[in-house]
């Protein structure tokens, strides 16, 4: 497998040149000092870590997997993982965007997302451990008491400890109202937590000294729905060093991310402390979940980038047949397969999806920072609306396309791609889970059409449409502005259809949700491709010496419009097809 | 993992009721006696074998895989495989459609394809061994001398021996002109074969007494292209029992089909015999390849059916959340996920693709029999045209959709689908190779637009269009006839575009090939859905008691037209987008 190289030039292009993100971030009180020099230096260091430390462990970690010892109930991660994690934590990477008052570096969230992209390109399994810790950090930061924060945040932020999110149980994943884990109040103000959780990433491992489990459980007499769940902090080791009875009962055997320990966790009257208010656990959970969803999107993007690099490298080297327009490398026995139109199609689909998704993700990440830190509450609100609206799109579309890119990449390699030798089949397997966890992509689509379109009575989506329309008006001469405008009209038609029909009948919105999310994403990517092409045009007009780089952006935008955006017609038709053909089937008829 | 149940009722519906295949087959001299009783009984027996013998070994075979012993150069298949293979062979399943004069049963090829579907639903890895043998049988039947046939065919047909297709070498897969394996003529008329072949399915194993390798190699001074390759028969054991130096050098480590031994084969001056004429090996190879391509299509279909059964079973049992239109099973804590529109969408996509693909495949298989055996040469020609035209569509579309169905199925299961417990992740991994081997699906698309559209100066495609148009004219009242007509017009537009532009510039045809094949397939499935709905209508009108069964066909047709066929607009646009956005990129720009 060819070595992963972080796409720093392209990351800079999107962040700096297209989004002008430094200017936006510097308008925030917390980021006045955050400039090109600092940002660039951090990204370069992250790239080195990803390329040299994390990536080499990815293939071996997949082959070795994690081992569970039923005697000690301990989990051993793959060789090299503990040392690499230590290097990761000591380098300050766990602390990047965390609060300075608890030892964090206070750098922008979007920077953290950019680092996450590289980490996931290099080694998704290893990246899961610190990734999940961030959920715990966010929950404690937002909902913990000062005492809880003082006790846990510095250790979690430094990476000395890790965190988990313990939500799923055997009988419930998506429907958390069904959980059975119980929390009994104790005389000292703590709770005794009992129950079984499954699919707990990093529930047990050998990377850190302690693990802070954030556990959803029910108080006695809690209502029988999501309104009756509360969030508890359950550490592996208590303050006095005693082992809390929160044990790993085994590991899942999975299709991929085999270096990530996916644990069954048995809480056997373990001591825990309430986080936030009783019966408001779902709200706290969403604090963890929302940022986790953006991070899962970055996982999809990271995998796609790796797949592209592997398949492009192969296509340049592999000699098979001659170009249909005559030999291109006459002194070799055949031409590299990169000459063939359909190989180019598979590579360019990856390329434009990756770069378009990168722009969408960084844009969303930048607004996450604005939503947190801007001085003007109205600006904060606008950015928060955008982030809320775009989060399910980022999560679902970037992971769907991560999987598609990995598969297109594998297909470029042909039979070689199916063998373990090139590592790309691992990317396909690893990526598959990203479409499922932190809410399946179907759930993301329901979140978009149900919660997010309704946000502020449609305020979020209207303001997003106004943003794109305003840009199109101001940049009517931008490359492909007309195509963007046409797609936007289709998206607006689809939105109107859902607003009208879904109001009358929520199953109509459910039936439309997945094609609608895809239409939303493809339209948004069209906007970003138009913006990227415009930036490239300006750079070329200004006489940039990077003519291949900027020329490729213009050509990529052409490809996107000509051969990807074509899908919007079909998606709009599918949205408008409505629910009838889905709901007509009886259970019996599904098997007939 | 729920047990596989062969979809016999649906197979009968397509074969007997929609295609009226018994009548067509009985018009062939070789199949006068082949009727409903015999066909039905054979399919029922095959179903039992698949369900009870092959399916239980599928999961364990994946976990155990094949083992190679470098000392003896022997390969051990998973536990239970040798006994199951023996039962398969002794039951006469290897001999089903083979020539009676060599011990075959002389039954229709299409029946063999139907059996293959069930075998691949149950256990793709195990099905590979007899599957590949058929290629060898076909090559010998068509191109072998009578002596070669007498010596090998009875043993291959009885399954006592197996066969391989040794084409690929490290430096060439798609481009067979690059092979380096050499064949030196010997004084006794045999050849000494030397070279290394890779990805040889069943190159070595413990299922049978002998292996007949069919090996592409070059004679001394052969031209340096595909016009210089010849086909040789190289047995593992020679007639006198001595071991021929054709040794397995190791096994590939693969993403899936781990129970199928994928071998590196070293031919070290092994004795072989020429099959067919010198330097005409490619023609012989295509004899093997064409029937193998149809069989690979059946693999995709078989996997899709299994995935559908698993995911439908899960969706009926798994309780999560309430229906958006109010509780459906009020006495349970939640409703089965089958109530949710998007879960239905994922299941119904599988359902209509599977049943549509089944109709396409059996139709093609039926014409394969007509092409072989009809008394009227003109009828034979017409059927042969159809088979040639549809073979790349069957291979590529059924495997692409097999993969899509397996992935949709996995998604229905959510996190459970990603674990090994339900077996569906294995279906995704196993199916992935079917899009690659026997010619990647990109190569199938090139075959369609390059060779097959040109067949007889366009005769094949014209006659296919006339067939569909004739049916539409005769059945103007059939459900969805207008939608089929619209899709057919789009397909004709696309065909015309390729005929015009591809003639001027073959890269235009190459750029259009993959979306064109998909457009071809979706249109063809629309035709079959209209036919299936019409049949169902007739049955219901005639008062059939199977109202759920036939009602489901009508509803499935509605779903296909409303939510699947919508894709044709986008595909036509992509075809017509042309090559420019693909070919504009320099090699450097791909990485920019």
User: Predicted ipTM?
Assistant: 0.97
Residues 490-529 on A with a CB inside 8 Å of B are 505-507, 509-511, 513-514
Q: Does B171 touch chain A (CB under 8 A)?
A: yes
What are the tens digits of pLDDT across the range B134-160?
999 999 999 999 999 999 999 999 999
Are B263 and B81 a contacting pair, CB within 8 Å? no
Mean pLDDT for chain A? 97
Question: Residue B216 pairs with which residues in a beta bridge?
Answer: B231
What are the tens digits of pLDDT across the range A365-383?
999 999 999 999 999 999 9
Tokens of A586: 């009886």
B309-317 average pLDDT score: 97
Q: What is the pLDDT of residue B53?
A: 98
- Cβ contact, residue pair B442, A415, below 8 Å: no
Q: Is the pLDDT of residue B288 over 90?
A: no
- Taking the CA of residue B471 and the nearest CA in chain A, the distance in Å comes to 25
Q: Is the pLDDT of residue A1 over 80?
A: no
What are the tens digits of pLDDT across the range B527-556?
999 999 999 999 999 999 999 999 999 999
Task: Tell which CATH classification among 2.40.30.10, 1.20.5.510, 1.10.540.10, 1.10.10.60 matches the domain B8-67+75-156.
Answer: 1.10.540.10
- Taking the CA of residue B428 and the nearest CA in chain A, the distance in Å comes to 9
DSSP string, B92-157: TGGGTTS-GGGT-----HHHHHHHHHHHHHHHHHHHHHHHHHHHHHHHHHHHS-HHHHHHHHHHHH
Q: Is the pLDDT of residue A300 over 60?
A: yes
Q: Residue A551's closest chain B neighbor by CA?
A: B589
How far apart CA B141 and CA B124 sit, in angstroms, is 25
Tokens of A67: 């081992």
- Cβ contact, residue pair B255, A418, below 8 Å: yes
What are the tens digits of pLDDT across the range A31-65?
999 999 999 999 999 999 999 999 999 999 999 99
- Cβ contact, residue pair B562, A581, below 8 Å: yes
- Give residue limits of the domains in chain A: 8-156, 163-280, 441-579
Are B66 and B75 a contacting pair, CB within 8 Å? yes
What are the tens digits of pLDDT across the range B376-402?
999 999 999 999 999 999 999 999 999
DSSP state of A31: G
What are the tens digits of pLDDT across the range B343-386?
999 999 999 999 999 999 999 999 999 999 999 999 999 999 99
Q: What is the pLDDT of residue B2?
A: 64
CB nearest to A577's CB, from B312, B562, B590: B562
Percent of chain A with pLDDT over 70: 100
Chain B positions touching A445 (Cβ under 8 A) are 342
Return the sign of the alpha-carbon dihedral for residues B139, B141, B143, B147: positive
Minimal CA–CA distance to B137: which of B111, B171, B110, B109?
B109
How far apart CA B328 and CA B332 sit, in angstroms, is 9
Angle between helices B109-143 and B281-317 (to 10 degrees): 160
What are the tens digits of pLDDT across the range A219-242?
999 998 889 999 999 999 999 999
How far apart CA A511 and CA A294 sit, in angstroms, is 24
Report CA-CA distances (Å) from B430 to A399, A527, B368, B420: 22, 38, 27, 13
Question: Can you tell me which residue has the tokens 């046939």?
Answer: B149
Q: Does A101 touch chain B (CB under 8 A)?
A: no
Spatial neighbors of B439 by CB under 8 A, at least 6 apart, are B174, B289, B293, B395, B447
Q: Confidence class of residue B224 from pLDDT cuts 50, 70 and 90?
A: confident
Are A77 and A259 a contacting pair, CB within 8 Å? yes
Q: What is the pLDDT of residue B397?
A: 98
- Taking the CA of residue A383 and the nearest CA in chain B, the distance in Å comes to 30
- Cβ contact, residue pair A581, B348, below 8 Å: yes
**Domain B163-279 bears CATH identifier 3.40.50.720:** no
Question: Can you tell me which residue has the tokens 């698993």?
Answer: B310
CB nearest to A589's CB, from B343, B548, B588: B548
Question: Residue A76 pairs with which residues in a beta bridge?
Answer: A67
Give phi and psi for B523, each to the nearest 5: -65, -45
Q: Is the pLDDT of residue B191 over 70?
A: yes
DSSP string, A407-446: HHHHHHHTHHHHBGGGSHHHHHHHHHGGGTSSS-HHHHHH
Q: Is the pLDDT of residue A584 over 70?
A: yes
- Cβ contact, residue pair B566, A567, below 8 Å: no
CB nearest to B589's CB, from A171, A551, A568: A551
Q: Confidence class of residue A173 from pLDDT cuts 50, 70 and 90?
A: confident
- Taking the CA of residue A591 and the nearest CA in chain B, the distance in Å comes to 8
Chain B positions touching A352 (Cβ under 8 A) are none
Helix (H, G, I), strand (E, B) or coil at A230: strand
Q: Does B549 touch chain A (CB under 8 A)?
A: yes
CATH topology of domain A8-156: Butyryl-Coa Dehydrogenase, subunit A; domain 1 (1.10.540)
Chain B positions touching A567 (Cβ under 8 A) are 570
Mean pLDDT for chain B? 97
Q: What is the pLDDT of residue B446?
A: 97
Question: Residue A194 pairs with which residues in a beta bridge?
Answer: A182, A268
Q: Is the pLDDT of residue B1 over 60?
A: no
- Hey, of A4, A200, A340, A513, which one would you mutate to test binding to chain B, going by the most B CBs within 10 A of its CB? A340
Are A80 and A60 a contacting pair, CB within 8 Å? yes
A72-97 average pLDDT score: 98
Tokens of B271: 């004795």
B30-40 average pLDDT score: 96
Fold agreement between B8-67+75-156 and B163-279: no
Say which CATH architecture domain A163-280 belongs to.
Beta Barrel (2.40)
Minimal CA–CA distance to A347: which of A297, A405, A422?
A405
Q: Does B63 touch chain A (CB under 8 A)?
A: no
Catalytic choice (B117, B401, B438, B501): B438
Q: Confidence class of residue A2 from pLDDT cuts 50, 70 and 90?
A: low
Catalytic choice (A438, A501, A567, A587): A438
- Cβ contact, residue pair B579, A341, below 8 Å: yes
Residues 387-406 on A with a CB inside 8 Å of B are 403
Q: Residue A427's closest chain B neighbor by CA?
A: B255
B588 is catalytic: no
Q: What is the pLDDT of residue A113?
A: 98
Q: What is the pLDDT of residue B174?
A: 85
CB nearest to A585's CB, from B507, B552, B579: B552
DSSP string, B380-447: HHHHHHHHHHHHHHHHHHHHHHHHHHHHHHHHHHTHHHHBGGGSHHHHHHHHHGGGTSSS-HHHHHHI
Inter-chain Cβ pairs, chain A and chain B, closer than 8 A = 276
Q: Confidence class of residue B289 from pLDDT cuts 50, 70 and 90?
A: confident
Tokens of A440: 């399946």
Helix (H, G, I), strand (E, B) or coil at A218: strand
B422-427 average pLDDT score: 97
A528-546 average pLDDT score: 98
Chain B positions touching A449 (Cβ under 8 A) are none
How far apart CA A557 and CA A380 sit, in angstroms, is 31
Chain B positions touching A414 (Cβ under 8 A) are 173-174, 436, 440
A398-409 average pLDDT score: 98
How far apart CA A51 and CA B274 sit, in angstroms, is 52
Report CA-CA distances (Å) from B367 to A280, B34, B166, B379: 65, 15, 28, 10
Which of A130-139, A461-470, B417-426 shows the lowest per-residue confidence on average (mean pLDDT)?
A130-139
- Cβ contact, residue pair B342, A511, below 8 Å: yes
């Amino acid at each position: 497998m060819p070595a992963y190289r972080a796409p720093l030039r392209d990351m800079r292009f999107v962040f700096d040149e297209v989004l002008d993100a430094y200017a936006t971030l510097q308008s925030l009180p917390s980021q006045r000092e955050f400039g090109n020099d600092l940002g660039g230096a951090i990204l370069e260091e992250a790239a080195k870590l990803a390329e040299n430390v994390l990536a080499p462990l990815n293939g071996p970690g997949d082959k070795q997997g994690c081992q569970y010892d039923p005697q000690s109930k301990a989990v051993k991660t793959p060789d090299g993982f503990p040392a690499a994690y230590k290097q990761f934590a000591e380098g300050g990477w766990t602390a990047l965007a965390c609060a300075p008052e608890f030892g964090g570096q206070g750098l922008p969230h979007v920077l953290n997302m950019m680092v996450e992209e590289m980490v996931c390109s290099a080694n998704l399994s290893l990246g899961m451990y610190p990734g999940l810790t961030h959920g715990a950090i966010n929950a404690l930061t937002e909902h913990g008491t000062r005492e809880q924060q003082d006790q846990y945040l510095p250790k979690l932020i430094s990476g000395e400890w890790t965190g988990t999110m313990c939500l799923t149980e055997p009988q419930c994943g998506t429907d958390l109202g069904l959980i059975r884990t119980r929390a009994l109040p104790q005389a000292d103000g703590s709770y005794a937590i009992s129950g079984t959780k499954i699919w707990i990433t990093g529930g047990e491992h050998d990377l850190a000294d302690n693990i802070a489990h954030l556990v959803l459980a029910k108080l006695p007499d809690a209502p029988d729905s999501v309104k009756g769940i509360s969030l508890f902090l359950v550490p592996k080791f208590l303050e006095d060093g005693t082992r809390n009875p929160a044990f790993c009962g085994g590991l899942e055997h999975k299709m991929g991310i085999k270096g990530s320990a996916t644990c069954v966790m048995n809480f056997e009257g373990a001591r825990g402390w309430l986080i936030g208010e009783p019966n408001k656990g779902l709200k706290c959970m969403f604090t963890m979940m929302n940022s986790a969803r953006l991070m899962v999107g970055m996982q999809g993007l990271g995998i796609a980038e790796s797949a592209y690099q592997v398949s492009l490298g192969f296509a340049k080297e592999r000699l098979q047949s001659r170009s249909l327009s005559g030999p291109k490398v006459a002194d070799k026995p055949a031409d590299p397969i990169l000459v063939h139109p359909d190989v180019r199609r598979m590579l360019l689909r990856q390329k434009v999806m990756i770069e378009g998704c990168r722009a969408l993700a960084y844009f969303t990440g930048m607004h996450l920072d604005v939503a947190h830190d801007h001085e003007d509450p109205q600006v904060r609100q606008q950015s928060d609306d955008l982030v809320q609206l775009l989060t399910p799109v980022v999560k679902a579309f970037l992971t769907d396309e991560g999987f598609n890119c990995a598969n297109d990449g594998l297909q470029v390699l042909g039979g070689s791609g199916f063998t373990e030798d090139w590592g790309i089949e691992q990317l396909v397997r690893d990526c598959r889970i990203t479409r499922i966890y932190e809410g399946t992509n179907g759930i993301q689509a329901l979140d978009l059409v149900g919660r997010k379109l309704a946000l502020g009575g449609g305020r979020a989506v209207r303001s997003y449409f106004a943003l794109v329309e305003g840009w199109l008006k101001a940049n009517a001469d931008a490359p492909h502005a007309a195509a963007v405008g046409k797609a936007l009209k289709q998206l607006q038609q689809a939105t109107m259809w859902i607003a009208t029909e879904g109001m009358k009948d929520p199953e109509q919105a459910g039936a439309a949700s997945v094609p609608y999310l895809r239409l939303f994403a493809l339209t948004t990517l069209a906007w970003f491709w138009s913006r990227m092409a415009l930036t490239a045009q300006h750079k070329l007009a200004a006489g940039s010496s990077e003519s291949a780089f900027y020329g490729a952006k213009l050509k990529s935008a052409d490809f996107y419009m000509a051969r990807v955006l074509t899908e919007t017609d079909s998606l709009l038709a599918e949205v408008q097809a409505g629910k009838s053909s889905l709901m007509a089937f009886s259970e019996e008829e599904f098997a007939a």
